[in-house]
Amino acid sequence: MLSADAIAANAREVEARIVAACTRARRSPNEVTLIAVTKTFPAEAVTAAIAAGIANVGENRVQEARDKQPLVAGKVHLIGHLQSNKAKDAVRLFDMIQSVDSIELAEKLARAADAAAKQQEILLQVNIGREPQKSGIDPAEVAGAVKQLVAYPSLRLRGLMAIPPAGEAEETRRFFRELRMMRDAEGMEQLSMGMSEDYEVAIEEGSTMVRVGRAIFGSRG
């Protein structure tokens, strides 16, 4: 793991790049939330990121979030695939579940949120590259899925999330643009897209949440 000073320096660099991307896109930096992706990193990394001023963290697994959630002053986001049998734990631990990739999962989350007397914030994950190995709703089915999800009173659908096909940053631009158009068509607010390799392009195309791990914490393993 990098030192706390190195993590803080990286966080400042990422934040500066976010500001620069917003300037190019004529957007306010206040429109973009930086989510530090802490998966596989120890709790000390979370503490260092929070000390550097980052309020939101993203986790891929329910198990890891159990240890890190108490350290976070802001929001904890689930950004990885969620098994439906862990819906109850996810509702208890996460402020926002970004990886709702099926109506079946949404139904289980809605029941868990009902039982917890909570309105759970969610994003609908879209398989924007139409890749068979990835989770997410097919782009052609987004409008229908949105209509179903907004009918659950215990769920609050805030927007869309996607992981585009791997490639150079500029190659992902068209996928980001397509997702933004879907979000706009549904009249939603949030758009979670962009990671360490391409978050600047994502911001230029309208992202409101960027999920950055390696650029802050260094390489894993």
**Does residue 179 sit within a domain?**
yes
Q: Residue 6's pLDDT is what? A: 95
Tokens at 195, concatenated: 């990671």
**Does residue 138 sit within a domain?**
yes
Q: Residue 221's pLDDT is what? A: 59
**Does residue 10 sit within a domain?**
yes
Q: Residue 207's pLDDT is what? A: 98
Tokens at 135, concatenated: 């989770």
Answer for the pair 44, 26: CB distance below 8 angstroms, yes or no: no
> pTM of the entire structure?
0.95
- What are the pLDDT tens digits along the chain (221 aa)? 899 999 999 999 999 999 999 999 999 999 999 999 988 888 888 889 999 999 999 999 988 888 777 777 778 999 999 999 999 999 999 999 999 999 999 999 999 999 999 999 999 999 999 999 899 999 999 999 999 999 999 999 999 999 999 888 788 999 999 999 999 999 999 999 999 999 999 999 999 999 999 999 998 75
Angle value at C-alpha 104, between 100 and 146, nearest 5 degrees: 55
What type of residue sits at position 119? Answer: Q
Q: Residue 99's pLDDT is what? A: 97
Domain hosting 191: range is 4-216
What's the total number of domains in the chain?
1
Answer for the pair 79, 56: CB distance below 8 angstroms, yes or no: no
**Does residue 102 sit within a domain?**
yes
Angle of the 4-24 helix axis to the 43-51 helix axis, nearest 10: 60
* CATH number of the domain enclosing 14: 3.20.20.10
**Does residue 89 sit within a domain?**
yes
Q: Where are the alpha helices (DSSP H) in 96-165?
A: 103-115, 142-149
**Does residue 72 sit within a domain?**
yes
**Does residue 202 sit within a domain?**
yes
Q: Residue 201's pLDDT is what? A: 97
**Does residue 221 sit within a domain?**
no
Q: Supply φ then ψ for residue 206, to 5 degrees.
A: 115, 5
